[in-house]
Structure 1
Amino acid sequence: MQVSVDVYSEKASCERLLSVHRWTDKLLTFRTTRPAGYRFTAGQFARLGLEIDGEIVSRAYSITSAESEDELEYYAIVVPDGKFTTRLDRLQPGDAVWVEKLSYGFMTADRFTDGRQLWMLATGTGLGPYLSILQQEDVWRKFDDLVVVHGVRNRAELAYADRFAALAARAQAQGLPARLHYLKSVTREPGGEGVLEGRITTLLRDGGLEQATGLVIDAAQSRFMACGNPEMVTEVREIFRERGMTPLRRTGGGQFVTEDYW
């Protein structure tokens, strides 16, 4: 979406880039100042705008920071020749980043009213929402098992491993009851120690995820989030339906919620 700066300024706040961390030449984490009064629920996304050639170009990015943080953090992939991310890749701390005043999205853990396991499936930067969700104490009290599955092409793309380890250690120190299972999987090179091999959908169908966690997936206790490549999300929906599961409904009921995210 492209709009004039004057029009966009009515619904967005001009914030500042604070830092950039580069995982690879195409993957980066960046942080911005947080607009006064800005609210979001862990798992939601923000719409960000950059001024390019006198107009604002905006894109959606999941928020990876905790609800209570003073800053906002995002996880992004630089799209070759992408108008927004090409500019984003060149930004320096202090540069302007517009943040729309509203947050968006319905892929939040508080929508699940039952279940004992929360499975969070992600490809690529679809991992972002789960980083925010796992920083909320209530999710560690609500479920017995929290399972993050991150599928990427190569090992170099397995970002945030240290963050998940730190979240698990913090939860244990605080006496929070849930167990965190963090599974990594690659598709274009051998898996090796601590890393599974194959697509998430393959591991879901052949029982690889259950074997790796020691958990049993069933409609009564298992609740799922899936975020990432649209092809993965579509196939995951098919697998869930084959197992007697239904999408989460606003009126209640259902076992899974999904969101396409590149």
Structure 2
Amino acid sequence: MSSVNIDVYSEKASCERLLSVHRWTDKLLSFRTTRPAGYRFTAGQFARLGLEIDGQIVSRAYSITSAEQEDQLEYYAIVVPGGQFTTRLAALQPGDPVWVEKLSYGFMTADRFVDGRQLWMLATGTGLGPYVSILQQPDVWQRFDELVVVHGVRQREELAYADKFEQLRQHASQQGWPARLQLLRCMTRDDALPDAPGWLAGRITTLLKEGRLEQATGLPLSVEQTRVMACGNPEMVTEVRELLRERGMGPLRRTGGGQFVTEDYW
């Protein structure tokens, strides 16, 4: 996080307006802003937002959850107790100013994969955000046969966007797009899990190591067919990298090749 003078910041950012806020829990929220004219991003990238606090602009990065073609921008955020930025963010009302930097950032985009038939998207907490945007792009449903979202949280109340994923699944079916979407919800501190497919107890990394993610989906991970994205808790991301390397997979590189891409989410 950084703090800069407003006049300096205005040279690289556009002053937009907060449009709406959706509160999933007292600590989790999604919010929408107007979109700067000419703003471009690729699904999976993040924006840098600024808020005026005590006469200075304080900025922070948030993944964009809206579709590339929408005329608004949506983000998914966690309110950090005592956090300078998110405390102010949580108090904003529609119409309040939010600065949006003119450039988008990040390399965790599905178009970087040049092959593979399965796209696995692993997330803890608000690391889910990029996948909401990615799955709103028709080409992803047309390029892959299997799409798997794995969302790891502590308790059920922290799950978000499940209805959105179902809407996307139905829309893809109506359009005749070939990919199948599976959603796995993994909880570490909820003892009352539904007795239904797609609900698992445990950490993503434990479930990956034990083969339970593959068992739940019926999809074996392979170097030839599987492509993986991991976003969220740095400890999860680091361990996922190690587990995938043990399976013979490597990170995506600018020169080409590789089976996974990751992004730490704080």
Q: Partner of 2:79 in structure 1?
A: 78
Q: Deviations over 1:194-215 (max 9, x none)?
A: 4210000011011111111111
Structure 1 segment 63-102 matched on structure 2, within 5 A: 63-102=64-103
* Residues 116-152 of structure 1 deviation map (CA, whole Å, 9 limit, x = unaligned): 0000000000000000000000000100000000000
- Counterpart in the other structure of 2:146: 145
1:222-233 correspondence to structure 2 within 5 Å: 222-233=226-237
- 1:25 counterpart = 2:26: yes
SS of the residue corresponding to residue 167 of structure 1 reads helix
Equivalent of 1:234 in 230, 234, 238: 238
Query: Which residue of structure 2 lines up, in the alignment, with residue 207 of structure 1?
Result: 211
Match runs of 1:107-122 below 5 Å: 107-122=108-123
In structure 1, C-alpha distance between the alignment counterparts of 2:134 and 2:49, rounded to whole Å:
20
Quote the residue 2:166 is aligned against.
Answer: 165
Distance 1:215 1:247 in 2: 21
1:198 and 2:199 matched:
no
TM-score of the two chains, using structure 1 as the length reference: 0.99
1:54: Cα distance to partner?
Answer: 0.1
SS in 2 for 1:101: strand
Tell me the equivalent position of 1:179.
Answer: 180
Post-superposition shift, 1:192? 2.9
User: Following TM superposition, by how much is the alpha carbon of 1:28 offset from its aligned partner in structure 2, in angstroms?
Assistant: 0.1
- Specify the code of the residue in structure 1 equivalent to 2:165: F
Structure 1 Cα separation of the partners of residues 201 and 223 of structure 2? 26
Residue aligned with 1:89, SS? helix
- What amino acid sits opposite 1:192 in the alignment? P
Number of equivalenced pairs = 262
Give the aligned partner of residue 52 of structure 1.
53
- Normalising to structure 2: TM-score of the pair? 0.98
Q: Which residue type is aligned with residue 261 of structure 2?
A: V
Per the TM alignment, residue 184 of structure 1 is displaced from its structure 2 partner at its CA by: 0.4
- The 2-side partners of 1:193 and 1:35 are apart by 45
| 2:247 pairs with one of 234, 243, 247 | 243
Q: Give the deviation of 1:189 after TM superposition.
A: 1.4
Q: Provide the aligned C-alpha RMSD in A.
A: 0.6
Q: 2:133 maps to what in 1? A: 132
Give, as a single letter, the amino acid of the residue that structure 2 aligns with 1:32: T
Residue identity in the other structure for 1:213: T
**Aligned-pair CA distance for 1:155:** 0.2
CA distance in 2, matches of 1:192, 1:211: 17
Deviations, residues 37-72 of structure 1 (Å, cap 9, x unaligned): 000000000000000000000000000000000000
User: Residues of 2 paired with 1:48 and 1:27: CA distance?
Assistant: 17
How far, CA to CA, are the matches of 1:237 and 1:18 in structure 2?
38
Runs of 4+ in 1 over 4 A off after TM superposition: none
The letter of the residue matching 1:177 is P
Name structure 1 gaps, 5 residues minimum.
none
Alignment partners' CA distance in 2, 1:216 and 1:15: 45
Deviation at 1:193, TM superposition (A): 2.5
How far apart are the structure 1 equivalents of 2:190 and 2:66?
Answer: 30
From 213, 220, 223, give the equivalent of 1:219. 223
